[in-house]
Structure 1
């Protein structure tokens, strides 16, 4: 933590304006850019929450992350990276404001800030769990100590501070994970116990270990029929689609030095992310076979730490824990910086109508402790890493994803003939706002529809959850299943209202940060240009 504070002080000397602070001056190359992207994405949810979910549910429990989260990065690289970088936006709310208008810009800013604070809360729970496990301090004190350090270095150095620490953190964490894999797997029975017949059903809920689809009488996560299939879709798209319109991801894409770099760091970063994420997942699956007695609470937040303590030497354990703390801090700092950027840049301009580099930088810095304070409250209230992280991206899935895709790809074509006729109508602000509200309303309505079903499925689950309905699981299950219908509702409202209001609310063109029409050619990721 002292090293991180020193880097924050050093990075602050490179910050001369809001562009340096928010997107590192748009000069990140492939190496630093890839490191920053993976280190930001690879946090407590993947390393600690993913291990816990694999121990409890097997592969079905980690479809959200790392599978869905890694797919998100690859999708961004192929379909959105070039256009985002071409627009030279400072934040994602810039896109919504320029493409739809001030009203949608404000709504997107609010939704993005809330989602980033939820994700930050998940990282803070990871901090607290590490410090509590190794020092005996309470979870609240552990969260508090880490929060102070993270706020200090992020306020000082911004994106440069986050970027300079990312690559080092990622390298040390990767070495620690590989060391734990090499040392731990033989002691846990070898790979045959993971992929052979002995490992076919070896997790707390006794689901098929490597199940990719709803499976027989078990369905998906214990739900059969249509509900099971809807849950399966939700598991893939909650982070796979929901985190595509995330400010913390967009900020790294915008910091790349050119379009090709943007595409490269997204696709390569997604592949490396999945491979790294499978290490704690595989270890957790093996660990259950020899240590099946953990409670749900122990597995959810502390399993990775328990495995590291059991199988790493003292030196490797110290390096691994330092790297893990640094990676979590990088993710949290990136999310806090993302939310603060939205407040300092977009909030200031949208509410005052003014634009000042000095004021933007000052407000962004001052917003960091405020955003962190709300995230701290969420962390102390929920205390669950994986669910807190996933629900953050569910918010963006149901509110912003449909209008995000429409902003880039539902435009009036310049061509003539059938193509022009098909794309003659475009998404407008009224439709985007309707999609935002309709998605949220459908999500909440379906949540209450599914809650009795999920409550019945999560009654007397055992494993330290107590008797009766385990409401924590029932609540999260209902929210995840309902998010699929929330996305459907958002798409329907966006399309129908946009088509109905074309004449009274003229659609705006897709433009860059300076208001110039966006060049739409060569938008697909793989290209020589």
Structure 2
């Protein structure tokens, strides 16, 4: 990179850090720190939600899949967008009725405190692994840009993110996300896409120089497409990082339409990134590490100055998701475990202090995990596998029916999570079958235990309904 590109990236990081630190001034109580005072308008909400669902895996992962499979590389992010659209159309109205901070807090209102605890643990594992994904992503970018050791790049990039997230919570995340949404939109749609196509000679050149299978929507394989919808469509509908954004909306209308708009944005994002990956296949057919496709393509396609802007846009996508998943994981642990079970009478001031300490711990732990795993798509699969299989049915039944009791929800989560983790251990962490097994176990156990309730279950249900 030229000096001007390095300056642009450094300035961008400085601006983001400054905006994040400024946001800390508004985090004066628990609601401000965790859900930005439930006060975001449509544009702010759309930008924040789109920024959190489209991070390192969506950006670098889709470019990688486009490089390896062509246009069918869109399916991972299409599955994500579909989950968000369904969430907006059918669930936001139900969710907005609960004045809570977390998905686990809602499950306690519907079921029991034990369900809250076990669901918080599952959801915290999910958000932690998503944070690891983003740490790997930003480390990989810095590794390509600067040529430094990957572990060092993960430490530097991850450190910046959890610094401003720790200080300002959701307000810092919100303010930085607005900047990052604009930067990533301009960088990916209006700079990287046209310049990549220009470099290879346009769509006609792609058609000439790519294998015919690269224009087949099913080239990636039906089993993999099915896996993406099982993992990401179901997972996005019950993810704490997504729900926490829903809680920031000013009105249910903002929540509904902003969520649908973010899902549609994801569809467009998927197509653009897959095409960029296809351009990279023409220009760089022998890339050693396909995880770096986007960054390597940017390095050879873009002129000085523009390169810095585009690379900053990728950093924006990754950092926005990382900050969102960090605050989600911190909220689950501090709100649903520490405050609920150990310090129920804690003051707002001390609660924010505990939340910040929790955020620091999560940031450090996620950086260590990222250095150990170092593969974006593997970490992402693990995160969504546990979440989709264990929480989907308890949450959906909890929103739409009063006939499921607390014991059914609790054991459904325990049994399905155990089946999924055991299956991943036996068949490998990229296997689809354990997720399906987990969903089946979750559905069967929740139905059977609700059909044959104990006297205690009936009494608890009467109280809940009353």
Indicate the residue corresponding to 2:442 in structure 1: 490
Query: Deviation string for 1:308-334 (max 9, x for gaps)?
Result: 112222111111222222331121111
Structure with the larger helix share: 2
Q: For this pair of structures, how many residues does the alignment match?
A: 452
| 7, 10, 18: which one aligns with 1:6 | 18
Shift of 1:37: 0.5
Shift of the 504–78 alpha-carbon distance from structure 1 to 2, 3 Å rule, reads: same
Indicate the residue corresponding to 1:261 in structure 2: 254
Hey, what's the Cα distance between the residues in 1 that align with 2:298 and 2:462? 49
- Of 93-102 and 351-360, deviating more is 351-360
Shift of 1:8: 2.1
Query: Deviation string for 1:113-137 (max 9, x for gaps)?
Result: 1111101111011111111111121
Shift of 1:390: 2.9
Shift of 1:303: 0.6
Structure 2 stretches of 5 or more lacking a match? 1-12
| 52, 64, 69: which one aligns with 2:64 | 52
Query: Deviation string for 1:179-212 (max 9, x for gaps)?
Result: 121121132242235567954224xxxxxx4334
Please provide the CA RMSD for this pair.
Answer: 2.3
Q: How does 1:20-31 map to 2 (within 5 A)?
A: 20-31=32-43
Shift of the 317–102 alpha-carbon distance from structure 1 to 2, 3 Å rule, reads: same
CA contact (8 A) 2:85 2:263 kept: yes
Hey, what's the Cα distance between the residues in 2 that align with 1:78 and 1:507? 34
Indicate the residue corresponding to 2:8 in structure 1: none
CA contact (8 A) 2:192 2:310 kept: no
- Of 378-387 and 69-78, deviating more is 378-387
Query: Deviation string for 1:356-409 (max 9, x for gaps)?
Result: 322321211110011112211221111011221232111111111110101001
Question: Is 2:309 the partner of 1:319?
Answer: yes
CA contact (8 A) 1:99 1:510 kept: no
Indicate the residue corresponding to 2:381 in structure 1: 390
TM-score (norm 2): 0.91
| 393, 407, 415: which one aligns with 1:438 | 415
Structure 1 stretches of 5 or more lacking a match? 203-208, 222-227, 412-425, 452-474, 518-529
Shift of the 486–62 alpha-carbon distance from structure 1 to 2, 3 Å rule, reads: farther
Indicate the residue corresponding to 2:127 in structure 1: 116
Indicate the residue corresponding to 1:79 in structure 2: 90
CA contact (8 A) 1:100 1:507 kept: no
TM-score (norm 1): 0.81
CA contact (8 A) 2:209 2:282 kept: no
Shift of the 448–156 alpha-carbon distance from structure 1 to 2, 3 Å rule, reads: closer
Hey, what's the Cα distance between the residues in 2 that align with 1:40 and 1:49? 15
Shift of the 17–516 alpha-carbon distance from structure 1 to 2, 3 Å rule, reads: farther
Indicate the residue corresponding to 1:192 in structure 2: 204
Query: Deviation string for 1:442-496 (max 9, x for gaps)?
Result: 32454466x3xxxxxxxxxxxxxxxxxxxxxxx3432x33212221221111111
CA contact (8 A) 1:30 1:265 kept: yes
Indicate the residue corresponding to 1:210 in structure 2: 216
Shift of the 21–353 alpha-carbon distance from structure 1 to 2, 3 Å rule, reads: closer
Indicate the residue corresponding to 2:433 in structure 1: 481
- Of 52-61 and 280-289, deviating more is 52-61
Indicate the residue corresponding to 1:422 in structure 2: none
Q: How does 1:464-475 map to 2 (within 5 A)?
A: 475=428
Shift of 1:61: 4.6
Shift of 1:175: 1.3
Task: Give the secondary-structure state (helix, strand or coil) at the position aligned to 1:242.
Answer: helix
Indicate the residue corresponding to 1:351 in structure 2: 341
